[in-house]
Structure 1
C-alpha cells in the first residue's frame, strides 16, 4: 500500500508539470497524485505534490505565497511575454542606454505592494471554458481582466548590459496568482523599451523550499512529508485526544474549545501523530471541515 504524503520535486526545464505528475505516479505506483500549482515548461523549481489521501491537503497549499528567481530582458517584447514567444518589437540602442539603475528602481517600486495586474494572454486562466493559451495558439485575440495581487519583494540581484538589451536577475516574493511574466512585461512597458522573461525558477511555496526537493531522477523511494507534518506547516496545529479525534471524525463538535487554537483553519493531530483532519471555527466550537482516512500517518 502506498503511504500518503506530500512530495517536494525540483522540476527541470523542458517538461510540463503534468509530466512530473506522470513520472511520480509511475515511481509510487499510484494514480492518486496531484499538484499545488503548475510551472511552465520553461520554468524550473518547486512543485508540491500530494500522494494518495494527502492530495486533499493541496487546496490549503495552493493559495500560499511564493518566491521566484527570474531573469528579465529589457529591450525586447514577445508574443508570450517570455523567451518562448516571437519577438514583436525591439528598442533602439539609445532607449536601452537610457535605462539607468534609478529608472529601473522606480519602475520596480511601481510594481511592488498591492497592485492590479493583467495576466499574460498565454496563461492557464480559462476564458469561456478554454485555457487562454489554447485560444492564443488557435489565433484568437485574448484579453484577460486585471486581478489584484501582492508583490511583497521585488529586488534586482544582478544586471548585465549589452547594446540591444538589459538583463536583470531578480527575486520576487508574491501572492498566489501573480504572474512573473506580467511583471517583466509591465516593467519593460514602464521603461519604454519592452521586456520579457528569459528564465524563471520557483524556490518556495509557503513553508516548502526547493532546497528540500528531490529531482525527477530520484522519485523512486523518495521520502515524503507526512500529512500531519505538512498540514501543521501550512496551518495552525491543534493536538487532540483520542476521544476528541473520534468525535471529530464522527462529525461531532469540540464544544467551547475555540480558544485552543490561534487561527483557523487548523490541523487536528491525534496522539499517535496521525492527521485527523482540518478543523474550522463554529462560534465557540471547533468542527471538522475535512476528515482524513484514519490510517493516514
Structure 2
C-alpha cells in the first residue's frame, strides 16, 4: 500500500473497515473528500448494520469494481433462532416468535449442512433487487409483498463457531464463505424456517472480499490520517491471474486488440507490459483473450 497526504488522487483500491450505522454510500462520500475526487465507487454493498471489508476504487480503479464484486466473500455472523423479523436482521421489526429451546445440536448441524454447497436462495424482501424497475426494499417500505425468485448461490463453507442458549432463543455464531450474491440474512431466515423457529441476523462482519481481508482494511479514522491506496497493478495481481506480454502484444492490448488465449480463464486476467505496468483486464473466450478494460492511454 502507499500512503497519500498531498494533492491529487492516485488510482487504486482502498480497503475500508466499514463502521456500523454507515451505509456503503456514506463511505464513498467520505473517500471522495479524502481522495479529493468524485471518481470513487465500491464493490459489493454492505448493509448499515454490517461492519468490515468494503473495497473502494479510486479513479481508474473504479473500472475494477464490477469484476471484484463477483469474487468470493467471507463473513462472521450471529444468527438468532426463535424470532423472525420483516428485514431478516435486527434492524427490522419482530414479526413472529417460536421457542428454539427444543432444537437439538444435531438438528442445527443438519440445517447448516443443508444450506452449504450449491443452493437456491430467495433474496430478502428488503433488498436492492429490482422488480419491474423498482428496488424491492422501496416496495417493501410501502407495505407491498414482493415476489422474488430463488437464485443459485454457492455457500463454500458454513462453520458454526459457538452456540449460546438463553430461554427460548439460541444465538449461533458462524463463519461463512460464499459466492457473490449470497445474502447472509437469507441464510439466517432459511435456517430458522428449516428448524421451525424462525431466525434473523443480529451481527454481521465481512472478513474478506476476494484477496482483500481485514488485515489490509483500515478504519475511517486511520484513512483520514493517512489514505492508504493499493496501486492498480498490485490490486489486479492480487485478485486475478497475471499475464505478462511482450512489446508487440502490449501495443495490441493498449489499442483494444485481442490476444491469443493461453488458458488462464475463465474469469478476468491482468495483462502486464514487459516493464511491469498494468495494461488491461482481459477475458478468454474460445481462442481469444478479449479486453474488458484498458488502463493505459
Specify the SS of the correspondent of 2:296.
coil
Specify the SS of the correspondent of 1:67.
strand
5+ residue gaps, structure 2, are 1-7
Tell me which residue corresponds to 1:276: 279
Determine the C-alpha separation between the residues in 2 that align with 1:282 and 1:250: 19
Tell me which residue corresponds to 2:172: 168
Q: 1:110 to 1:266 in 2, by over 3 A?
A: same
Q: 1:34 to 1:91 in 2, by over 3 A?
A: same
Determine the C-alpha separation between the residues in 2 that align with 1:210 and 1:5: 18
Tell me which residue corresponds to 2:265: 263
Q: Would the aligned equivalents of 1:115 and 1:150 in 2 still touch at CA under 8 Å?
A: yes
> Residues 1-297 of structure 1 correspond to what in structure 2 (within 5 A)?
1-92=8-99, 96-220=100-224, 221-254=226-259, 257-259=260-262, 261-264=263-266, 265-281=268-284, 283-294=286-297
Specify the SS of the correspondent of 1:145.
coil
Q: 1:198 to 1:31 in 2, by over 3 A?
A: same
Q: Please give the TM-score of this superposition, normalised by the length of structure 2.
A: 0.92
Determine the C-alpha separation between the residues in 2 that align with 1:219 and 1:130: 35
Q: Bigger CA drift: 235-244 or 28-37?
A: 235-244
RMSD: 1.5
Q: Would the aligned equivalents of 1:60 and 1:234 in 2 still touch at CA under 8 Å?
A: no
Determine the C-alpha separation between the residues in 2 that align with 1:139 and 1:283: 48
Q: Please give the TM-score of this superposition, normalised by the length of structure 1.
A: 0.92
Determine the C-alpha separation between the residues in 2 that align with 1:284 and 1:188: 47
Deviation at 1:42, TM superposition (A): 0.4
Specify the SS of the correspondent of 2:243.
strand
Deviation at 1:143, TM superposition (A): 2.1
Q: 1:127 to 1:287 in 2, by over 3 A?
A: closer
Determine the C-alpha separation between the residues in 1 that align with 2:157 and 2:284: 32
Deviation at 1:273, TM superposition (A): 2.6
Determine the C-alpha separation between the residues in 2 that align with 1:149 and 1:287: 27
Determine the C-alpha separation between the residues in 2 that align with 1:69 and 1:36: 19
Q: Would the aligned equivalents of 2:264 and 2:284 in 1 still touch at CA under 8 Å?
A: no
Deviation at 1:232, TM superposition (A): 1.7
